Amino acid sequence: MIVMKFGGTSLEDAAAMANACEIIKSRIKRHPVVVLSAAAGITNALIRCAELAAEGKRLEAEAVLRDRIIDRHYRIIADLIKGLGEQDMLIRQFKIYDEEIRSLIYGISITGDLSPRVLDFVMSYGERMSSAILTEALREYKLRAELLDSRKCIITGSGFGKAEPLFDATREACDAVVRPRVEKGVVPILQGFVGANEHGVTTTLGRGGSDYSAAIIGTVMHAEDIEIWTDVDGMLTADPKIVPGALRIKEMSFQEASELAYFGAKVLHPSTVLPAVEKNIPVHILNSRRPQLSGTLIKSQVASANIAVKSISYKRGISILNISSTRMLGSYGFMKKIFDVFNDHQTAVDLVTTSEVSISLSIEHSPDLDSLVAILKEYGDITVLRNRAIICIVGERLRDERGIAARVFSRLRDVPLDMISHGASEINLTCVIDEDRVPEAVMELHDEFFSNISEPGIFE
Ligand code: ADP
Ligand code: ASP
Ligand code: MG
pLDDT per residue as tens digits for the range 358-372: 999 999 988 888 999
Between the CA of 43 and the centroid of ligand 2 the distance, in Å, is 6
| Structural domains in the chain (count) | 2
Question: Same structural domain for residues 78 and 173?
Answer: yes
Cα(37)–Cα(450) distance, rounded to whole angstroms?
A: 32
Residue 184 lies in a domain: yes
| Nearest by Cα to 321 from 268, 395, 392, 381 | 381
Quote the pLDDT of residue 222.
97
* Rounded distance between C-alpha atoms, residue 294 and residue 271, angstroms: 23
Residues in the chain: 460
Spacing of C-alpha 67 from chain mean position: 26
Give Cβ neighbours of residue 37 (< 8 Å, ≥ 6 apart).
Answer: 5, 6, 7, 8, 10, 11, 126, 127, 130, 192, 193, 210
Helices 71-80 and 116-140: crossing angle in degrees, nearest 10, is: 10
CATH number, position 32: 3.40.1160.10
Query: Last residue of some domain: 231, 261, 295?
Result: 231
Q: At what angle do helices 84-111 and 71-80 cross, to 10 degrees?
A: 170
Question: Considering the entire predicted model, what is its pTM?
Answer: 0.94
Question: If you measure from the C-alpha of residue 411 to the centroid of ligand 2, how many angstroms do you get, rounded to a whole number?
Answer: 35
Under a CB-based contact definition with an 8 Å cutoff, are residues 99 and 5 in contact? no
Residues 223 and 361 reside in one and the same domain: no
Looking at the CA of residue 230, tell me the nearest atom of ligand 1. 3
Which residue, judged by its Cα, is nearest atom 10 of ligand 1? Answer: 267
Q: How far apart are CA 80 and CA 132, in angstroms?
A: 12
User: Within a domain: residue 345?
Assistant: yes
Domain-located, residue 78: yes
270 Cβ closer than 6 Å to some ligand 2 atom: no
- The CB of 195 under 6 Å from ligand 2? The reply is no
Which residues, judged by CB distance below 6 Å to any ligand atom, belong to the binding site of ligand 1? 7-10, 37, 208, 230-232, 235-236, 238-241, 265-267, 311, 313
Query: Do residues 185 and 320 both lie within one domain?
Result: no
Looking at 198, 231, 264, the residue that finishes a domain is 231
CA of residue 183 to ligand 1 center, whole Å: 33
The answer as to whether 338 is a domain residue is yes
On whether residue 299 sits in a domain, the answer given is no
Which among 37, 129, 272 is the best mutation to test ligand 2's pocket, defined by most ligand atoms within 8 Å of the CB?
37
Query: Looking at 231, 262, 286, which one is the last position of a domain?
Result: 231
What is the best residue among 43, 232, 256 to mutate for testing ligand 1's pocket, by most ligand atoms within 8 Å of CB?
Answer: 232
User: 401: CA distance to ligand 2 center in Å?
Assistant: 37
Range of the domain at 404: 311-450
Which ligand approaches the C-alpha of residue 191 most closely? Answer: 2
| Residue 253 maps to a domain | no
The answer on 87 and 227 residing in a single domain is yes
The Cα–Cα gap between 421 and 262 comes to 15
Centre of ligand 1 to C-alpha 266, Å, is 5
- For residue 380, how far is its CA from the centre of ligand 3 (angstroms)? 40
pLDDT (0 to 100) of residue 301: 85
**Domain match, 226 and 342 both:** no
- Any ligand 2 atom below 6 A from CB of 48: no
Q: Is 445 part of any domain? A: yes
Burial class (CB in 10 A: 0-12, 13-18, 19+), 244: exposed
Per-residue buried b or exposed e for 128-162, using 16+ beta carbons within 10 Å of the residue's own CB: bbbbbbbbbbbbeeebebebbebbbbbbbeebbeb
Q: How far is the CA of 7 from the centre of ligand 3 (A)?
A: 6
The strand pairing partners of 358, in sequence order, are 324
Same domain assignment for residues 218 and 343: no
Exposed/middle/buried for 68, CB within 10 Å: 0-12, 13-18, 19+? middle
Measured in angstroms, how far is the CA atom of residue 239 from the centroid of ligand 1? Answer: 7
**Residues within 5 A (CB) of ion ligand 3:** 7, 208
CB 146 within 8 A of CB 184: no
Task: Tell me what pLDDT residue 3 has.
Answer: 98
Which residues are bridge partners to 213 per DSSP?
none
Dump pLDDT digits (tens) for 131-188: 999 999 999 999 999 999 999 999 999 999 999 999 999 999 999 999 999 999 999 9
Atom index in ligand 2 nearest the CA of residue 206 equals 9
Residue 274 lies in a domain: no
Same domain, 166 and 39: yes
Nearest CA to ligand 2 atom 5: 208
- Residues in the chain with pLDDT < 70? 328-330, 424-425, 454-456
Name, in order, each residue with C-beta under 8 angstroms of 283's C-beta and a sequence gap of 6 or more. Answer: 215, 225, 226, 227, 228, 254, 257, 268, 272, 273, 276, 297, 298, 299
**C-alpha 74 to ligand 3 mean position (Å):** 24
Question: Do 227 and 370 fall into the same domain?
Answer: no
Tell me, what CATH number does 337's domain have?
Answer: 3.30.2130.10
Q: Report which ligand 2 atom has the smallest distance to the Cα of 126.
A: 1
Ligand 1: atom nearest CA of 211 is 4
Pick the closest to residue 149 from 167, 168, 125 (CA basis).
125
Same domain as 428, residue 322: yes
Measured distance CA(362)–CA(386) in Å, rounded: 10
CA 94 to chain centre: 27
